[in-house]
């Protein structure tokens, strides 16, 4: 690490935030505001900012890891390098590392020590929870990390191996359970005023600890000497038992204030800040297929219209320039794993963003290839577009009020079919007139004025979405997997069904909450049709009995439910992606493989699916923060850390034995 920044720097930066409403109680961060210092920060004001910056670090990790797992496509060069070309770039890896170490981990240690001095056992326990969450995330991403020497201000900390980091995180959770179970000392601050996540419910914090233990124990599924199914099930029995126990951090859209470190809104959902702040991200074909054809059923999931964004099409404007009539058109998925026909016609990052037509606009496309020209014309005709032809040229009239691609390249003209995931917060819309209760994306101020929506956004990634730290549906899917590994198919099936239903119910509860606030402007924020839910659960998209249940069914439903989460990438690594060589479970993630735009031969050096190094296994460390400033300590524990092929080297929990893991470090 280049540096650790203490909480006093954060204090000064947040002095301007006093105008916030929902978070005001957490913002008077110092007893003496004129002389802020590390000792005067109230515990109940320190914890919310740790939760905030953890959410930010976890949000970018969730998004980029989910992109690696095929949830999203991005035409941003950094993220596209793991969604499409599989030639990962160095710039992808810095932000999660920096935001955790600079803004979170150093302050966790301070909060723990201060809480200990006051007998505030519940704050000590909360510090331990975020310690485990953050460092396990670092292990998942980077493998070897500064750990035992990481949080005490040393600018060049030594590195620890994976087992030490894993054991340390589990020990922190064990201590947290003990601390949460204690009565705080007289005069110690209560947890409630500082707790954005559970509002002071110690019972829910304890369930979170047990649930995290179950999640982390599951990572050891390749290790016959460490994986213990009954231990995982025991932890699950003490973890979340319903959606009421979900550990979530709230997302808000009530502030223009941005944080000092990154410059993003301070109150929005952490996933939003990367997956839906800009206009580069779209649903992948791999993800889309699971929502429209799970188990080859051709059944559309009722969650699909809440996850896959839509835009207004066939817009007609009235004499006042406002939308008079329109259709909603749902996005299709971007194919980068299969034939990738559209991308191969141009480049890996070429999916184009539409603009709004303020007046009738003519675009002329010169299409020399007769077959391509005929296909283009047939598509225009099917869509009822106005056009003329002259030789190789096709001139299309885009009506005022429509969204179109402002390019004469005919290959890009159909890219309006790929609706981006963008959602707007008042701090980022650039449109002062857009109110808090409208989080749609509009491509321009004229589009907003006319009322033409460019994207409805996606359930997990709006600024007002809940940030899911740990959920009951994840616990159900973990139980289903563990029972399946034990051969207890009946118990596995029960847990599988509970997982699917729990996720649908969680979404429905949130959509019902949103309806009264956002439903007038965004149909995708209204509840699902209950009949559609009933029909889906009884359809061929969902296994109907234990005899037909497979591990693939469990993991693909978990994939849909987890969505924008690092856990999908973790699960894929545990099952070796689509290699089909884990136990007798077969191919768990069919269709996930290197696509035709693959160029990552220097990074992923395996030559067959069953070779671990064929797949993305970890991230390379941040080039400046560690590979330049802390080189000696990095290479002391892993001499390959600065090589490009480090991307294909498994982390500790992704190896069957310690001997295998050590072989990668030689």
- DSSP assignment of 618-651 equals -PPPPIIIIIITSHHHHHHH-TTTTSGGGGGS--
Q: What is the pLDDT of residue 14?
A: 38
644 has pLDDT over 80: yes
Q: What percent of the chain shows pLDDT beyond 90? A: 87
Strands of 58-140, DSSP E: 72-74
Question: What domains does the chain contain, in order, with CATH numbers?
Answer: 7-247 (1.25.40.390)
Q: Between these two residues, 260 and 255, which has the higher pLDDT value?
A: 255
Q: What is the pLDDT of residue 33?
A: 53
Sign of the CA dihedral with 592 first, then 280, 250, and 178 last: positive
CA 390 to the chain's CA centroid: 48
- Confidence label for 38 from pLDDT (cuts 50, 70 and 90): low
Alpha carbons 115 and 188: distance in angstroms, whole number: 8
Alpha carbons 1 and 159: distance in angstroms, whole number: 11
Alpha carbons 232 and 478: distance in angstroms, whole number: 9
Alpha carbons 99 and 260: distance in angstroms, whole number: 11
What's the pLDDT tens digit per position in 96-131?
998 899 889 989 999 999 999 999 999 999 999 999
SS3 content of the chain, % helix, strand, coil (to 5): 45, 10, 45
582 has pLDDT over 80: yes
Q: What percent of the chain shows pLDDT beyond 70? A: 94
137 has pLDDT over 80: yes
Q: Which of 31-40, 221-230, 470-479, 581-590 has the lowest mean pLDDT?
A: 31-40
What's the pLDDT tens digit per position in 303-338?
999 999 999 999 999 999 999 999 999 999 999 999
C-beta of residue 558 within 8 angstroms of C-beta of residue 302? no
Q: Where are the alpha helices (DSSP H) in 519-639?
A: 530-537, 551-562, 566-574, 631-637
C-beta of residue 535 within 8 angstroms of C-beta of residue 504? no
Q: Could you tell me which of 242, 169, 243, 249 has the C-alpha nearest to residue 209?
A: 169
Over residues 586-593, the mean pLDDT reads 97
21 has pLDDT over 50: no
CA 648 to the chain's CA centroid: 22
C-beta of residue 452 within 8 angstroms of C-beta of residue 315? yes
What's the pLDDT tens digit per position in 377-419?
999 999 999 999 999 999 999 999 999 999 999 999 999 999 9
DSSP code at position 171: H
C-beta of residue 82 within 8 angstroms of C-beta of residue 64? yes
Sequence-distant (6+) residues with CB within 8 A of 244 are: none
C-beta of residue 548 within 8 angstroms of C-beta of residue 291? no
Residue 329, H or E segment: strand 323-330
Sign of the CA dihedral with 86 first, then 87, 90, and 91 last: negative
C-beta of residue 91 within 8 angstroms of C-beta of residue 100? no
DSSP code at position 281: E
Sign of the CA dihedral with 286 first, then 288, 291, and 293 last: negative
Hey, what are 516's tokens?
């009264």
Hey, what are 44's tokens?
């109940």
Sequence-distant (6+) residues with CB within 8 A of 1 are: 101, 102, 146, 150, 155, 156, 157, 625, 626, 629, 630
- For Cα atoms 288, 293, 294, give the angle at the middle one, nearest 5 degrees: 100
36 has pLDDT over 70: no
Over residues 225-247, the mean pLDDT reads 98
Q: What is the pLDDT of residue 39?
A: 64
520 has pLDDT over 90: no
Q: Which long-range contacts (CB under 8 A, 24 or more apart) does 371-375 make?
A: 372/410
Sequence-distant (6+) residues with CB within 8 A of 395 are: 362, 363, 364, 365, 387, 388, 389
Q: Is 480 helix (H, G, I), strand (E, B) or coil?
A: helix
Q: What is the pLDDT of residue 37?
A: 59
- 227: left (phi > 0), else alpha (psi -120 to 50), else beta? beta
Strands of 344-491, DSSP E: 355-356, 361-366, 386-390, 393-398, 403-404, 467-470
DSSP code at position 254: -
- Angle between helix 489-518 and 530-537 (nearest 10): 160
Alpha carbons 172 and 160: distance in angstroms, whole number: 16
- For the CA atoms of the chain, what is the radius of gyration? 25
């Amino acid at each position: 690490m280049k540096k650790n920044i203490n909480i006093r720097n954060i204090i000064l930066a947040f002095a301007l935030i006093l105008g916030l409403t929902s978070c005001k109680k957490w913002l008077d961060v110092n007893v003496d505001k004129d002389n802020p210092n590390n000792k005067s920060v109230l515990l109940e004001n320190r914890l919310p900012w740790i939760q905030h910056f953890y959410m930010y670090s976890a949000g970018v990790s969730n998004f980029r890891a989910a992109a690696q797992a095929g949830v999203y496509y991005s035409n941003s060069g950094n993220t596209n390098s793991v969604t499409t070309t599989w030639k990962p770039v160095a710039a992808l890896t810095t932000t999660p590392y920096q935001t955790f170490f600079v803004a979170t981990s150093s302050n966790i240690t301070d909060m723990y020590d201060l809480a200990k001095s006051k007998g505030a056992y519940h704050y000590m326990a909360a510090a331990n929870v975020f310690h485990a969450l953050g460092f396990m995330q670092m292990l998942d991403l980077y493998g070897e990390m500064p750990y035992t020497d990481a949080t005490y201000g040393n600018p060049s900390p030594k590195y620890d191996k994976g087992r030490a980091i894993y054991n340390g995180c589990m020990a922190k959770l064990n201590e947290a359970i003990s601390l949460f179970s204690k009565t705080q000392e007289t005069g110690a601050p209560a947890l409630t005023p500082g707790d954005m996540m559970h509002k002071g419910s110690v019972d829910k914090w304890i369930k979170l600890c047990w649930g995290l233990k179950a999640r982390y124990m599951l990572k050891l599924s390749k290790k016959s000497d460490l994986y213990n199914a009954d231990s995982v099930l025991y932890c699950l029995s003490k973890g979340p038992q319903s959606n009421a126990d979900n550990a979530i951090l709230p997302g808000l859209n009530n502030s223009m204030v941005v944080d000092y470190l990154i410059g993003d809104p301070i109150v929005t959902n952490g996933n939003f800040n990367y997956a839906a702040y800009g206009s580069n991200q779209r649903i992948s074909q791999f993800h889309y297929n699971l929502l429209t054809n799970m188990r080859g059923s051709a059944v559309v999931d009722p969650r699909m219209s809440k996850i896959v964004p839509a835009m207004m099409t066939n817009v007609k404007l009235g004499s006042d320039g406002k939308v008079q009539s329109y259709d909603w058109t749902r996005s299709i998925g971007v194919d980068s794993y299969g034939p990738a026909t559209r991308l191969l016609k141009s480049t890996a990052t070429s999916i184009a963003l539409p603009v709004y037509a303020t007046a009738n606009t003519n675009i002329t496309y010169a299409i020399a290839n007769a077959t391509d020209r005929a296909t283009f014309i047939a598509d225009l005709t099917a869509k009822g577009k106005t056009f003329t032809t002259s030789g190789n040229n096709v001139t299309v009239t885009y009506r005022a009020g429509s969204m179109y691609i402002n390019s004469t390249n005919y290959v890009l003209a159909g890219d309006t079919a790929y609706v981006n995931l963008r959602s707007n917060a008042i701090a980022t819309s650039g449109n002062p007139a857009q109110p808090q209760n409208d989080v749609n994306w509009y491509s321009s101020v004229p589009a907003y004025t006319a009322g033409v929506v460019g994207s409805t956004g996606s359930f997990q990634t709006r600024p007002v979405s809940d940030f899911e730290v740990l959920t009951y549906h994840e616990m159900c899917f973990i139980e289903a997997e563990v029972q399946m590994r034990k051969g207890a198919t009946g118990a596995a099936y029960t847990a599988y069904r509970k997982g699917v239903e729990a996720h649908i119910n969680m979404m429905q509860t949130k959509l019902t909450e949103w309806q009264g606030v956002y439903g007038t402007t965004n149909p995708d924020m209204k509840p699902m049709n209950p009949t559609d839910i009933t029909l889906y659960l009884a359809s061929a998209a969902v296994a109907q009995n234990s005899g037909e249940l497979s591990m693939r069914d469990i993991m693909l439903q978990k994939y849909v439910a987890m969505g924008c989460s690092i856990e999908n990438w973790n699960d894929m690594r545990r099952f070796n992606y689509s290699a089909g060589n884990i136990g007798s479970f077969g191919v768990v993630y069919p269709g996930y493989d290197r696509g035709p735009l693959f160029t990552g031969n220097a990074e992923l050096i395996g030559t067959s699916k069953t070779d671990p190094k064929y797949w993305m296994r970890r991230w390379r460390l941040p080039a400046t923060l560690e590979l330049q400033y802390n080189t000696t300590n990095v290479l002391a524990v892993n001499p390959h850390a600065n090589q490009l092929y480090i991307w294909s080297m498994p982390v500790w929990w992704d190896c069957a034995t310690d001997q295998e893991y050590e072989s990668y470090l030689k």
